[in-house]
Amino acid sequence: MYDALLSLDAWNESSRRYITEEPAFYTPKADEWRSKPENSKQGSGDIISWELGEKHTQALLSYIELGMTKYDQALKDGICAEQARLFLPAYGMYVRWYWTASFQSVAHFLAQRLEHDAQKEIQDYAKAVLELIKSIYPVSLEELVYKENGIV
């Protein structure tokens, strides 16, 4: 998802390097795990069986718990936060972002990430960004995102 945000002009993220905050993680529920797609290197396929999804949800929860335990222990042992955070499972960790971007950059991001073949999680993120700016820039959105990219 990081690469998806590179089109924006400037951003800052809460990295836990200088401040300590309680980590939060994205954990798919049993009915949210998707198969890999057929005939494609990226994206995803259909939802997998509930049983298999539950197995992976539980495995992920165990992995997160282990990482949190090791992270907390490292901090208690006096390890600096920038190294203690290495124990946290990074790919599923929520991060706070602060963006400074031109409308054109945001429109470009939305046009790419609202596409049907974009990863579901980044599509959800793009939809949330769209909701935030829809009432502020209705005319510009109509021209730069909807009409130019066929998103109606």
Same domain, 42 and 91: yes
Residue 152 pLDDT > 50: no
Whole-number Å distance between alpha carbons of 103 and 142: 12
Structure-block tokens of residue 24: 């939060």
- For 109, the domain range is 97-151
According to the per-residue pLDDT averaged within each range, which of 27-36, 37-46, 91-100 is highest?
Answer: 27-36
The dihedral region occupied by 80, where left means phi > 0, alpha psi between -120 and 50, and beta the remainder, is beta
Query: Bridge-partner residues for 13, per DSSP?
Result: 97
Examine residue 8 and state whether it is found in any structural domain, yes or no. no
Examine residue 17 and state whether it is found in any structural domain, yes or no. no
Average pLDDT over residues 30-45: 87
Average pLDDT over residues 85-111: 86
The tally of CA atoms less than 13 A away on the side-chain side of residue 23 is 24
Domain edge (last residue) among 55, 79, 95: 95
Count of other CB atoms within 10 angstroms of residue 113: 22
Whole-structure pTM value: 0.72
Q: How far is CA 4 from CA 43, 121, 123, 126, 129, in A?
A: 14, 11, 11, 10, 13
Examine residue 147 and state whether it is found in any structural domain, yes or no. yes
How many independent structural domains does the chain possess? Answer: 2
Strands 10-13, 97-100: pairing is antiparallel
